[in-house]
Amino acid sequence: MPELPEVETVARGLDRHMTGRRILRVEKNRPDLRTMMPADLVARLEGRRVEAVRRRAKYILVDLDDGAVVLAHLGMSGRITIAPPGQAPNRPDPHDHVVLHLDDGTVLRFNDARRFGRIDLARRDTLDAHPLLAGIGPEPLGPDFDGPRLAAALAGRRSPIKAALLDQRVVAGIGNIYACEALHLARLSPQRLAMTVTGARADRLAAAIRDVLQRAIAAGGSSIRDYVQTSGELGYFQHDWTVYGREGEPCRRCGDAVAVRRLVQSGRSTFYCARCQR
C-alpha cells in the first residue's frame, strides 16, 4: 500500500496540473471501489474549479471552489496518472474507474485493478471530523512533530514500537517500509516496547522519521508493485532501502554479512539489524 512519500508525491503532481483548472467532464465508470462512491460525484465535480491539492496521512485531498473536498485513497493498487493535453491514450483501460477532463485538455485517470481504493466527498469546514480522518495523529513532516510529542503518543503503550508506528493515531502516514527504515536509522529495535521510547530515543526516532520520509519524497517514493508517479514513472527510493526487503544482506551501517533479519509482527514483515538496533 502506498505510504506517505508515495501519496505526497502523487498529491504534488496533481497540484501542479489541477490547481486553478476547472473540471469540465467526469467519467464515473462504476459505482464503487472499496466502498460506494458518492452517487452525486459527477454532478458535484463537473464545473468546479480546483483550488489546491494536498495530503493528509495517506489521503489525497482536492479542494474545490465551492468548499467541497474530494478524498482519495489509493488502496493497494490504485494509481492516478496524468495525460497532458492531446496525449490521452486512445483505448481506455478497463480499470480506469474515474476519469477527469480539465479545461486545458489534461486528463486524469484513477486506475485501481484491485479496487481497494476510496473516493469520497466532504466539506472543508468539517473535514477533520470526517470518519476517514477523525483521530489521525500528527503529520510527521509538520512543525509540531518532535520527540516529546512522539513520546507522549507512545506513553503507556506496551506494544512493540514497530506496531505502534503503524497506528495512524500515533503518527500519520507511516507504513511498513518507512517504519522499518526509520527504526534502523534511529538504532532502535522494532521489538522494543513503545512506552520505553522516551527522551533521547524519542528525539532520535522523530528525527529519523522526518529524514527518511523527506529523502523518500525527493526520490519519488518507492515502487515495488503497482505504485507509479502521476507521470507514470516509477519511484526510486527502493534502491536506497537500508533494511527493508534485504533479509540476509549486509547491514549498510555495521557491515555484518548476515545482519539484516526478518521477523513477523502483527502479520507484517519487519526487517532490522540485530547488531545495531537495540
C-alpha 149: how far from chain center: 21
pLDDT of 118 over the 90 cut: yes
Question: pLDDT band at 258, cuts 50/70/90?
Answer: low
Distance in angstroms (rounded) separating the CA atoms of residues 87 and 97:
19
Q: Which of 2, 138, 140, 160 is catalytic?
A: 2
Q: Which of 34, 49, 157, 268 is catalytic?
A: 268
Domain spans in the chain, listed from the N-terminal domain onward = 4-129, 147-273
Q: What average pLDDT does the chain have?
A: 94
Q: What is the pLDDT of residue 264?
A: 96
Q: What is the pLDDT of residue 199?
A: 98
Q: Catalytic site residue 2? A: yes
Q: Catalytic site residue 28? A: no
The domain made up of 4-129 is a member of CATH 3.20.190.10: yes
* Residues near 78 by beta carbon (within 8 Å), at least 6 away in sequence: 2, 33, 110, 111, 112, 116, 117, 226
Q: Catalytic site residue 58? A: yes
Distance in angstroms (rounded) separating the CA atoms of residues 74 and 116:
7
Question: pLDDT band at 226, cuts 50/70/90?
Answer: low
Cβ of 274: how many Cβ atoms within 10 Å? Answer: 16
Per the structure block, which three cell numbers stand in for 134?
A: 477523525
Distance in angstroms (rounded) separating the CA atoms of residues 58 and 55:
7
Q: Which of 3, 6, 8, 181 is catalytic?
A: 3
User: Dihedral sign, CA of 237, 270, 72, 5?
Assistant: negative
Q: 71-80, 221-230, 251-260 — which one is most confidently predicted on average?
A: 71-80
In this structure, are residues 13 and 7 in contact, taking their beta carbons and an 8 Å threshold? no
Q: Which of 48, 55, 56, 58 is catalytic?
A: 58
pTM of the shown model: 0.94
Sole residue written with cell 547491514: 251
In this structure, are residues 164 and 155 in contact, taking their beta carbons and an 8 Å threshold? no
Distance in angstroms (rounded) separating the CA atoms of residues 70 and 53:
9
Distance in angstroms (rounded) separating the CA atoms of residues 238 and 161:
23
Q: Catalytic site residue 268? A: yes
**CATH, range 147-273:** 1.10.8.50
Average pLDDT over residues 79-90: 86
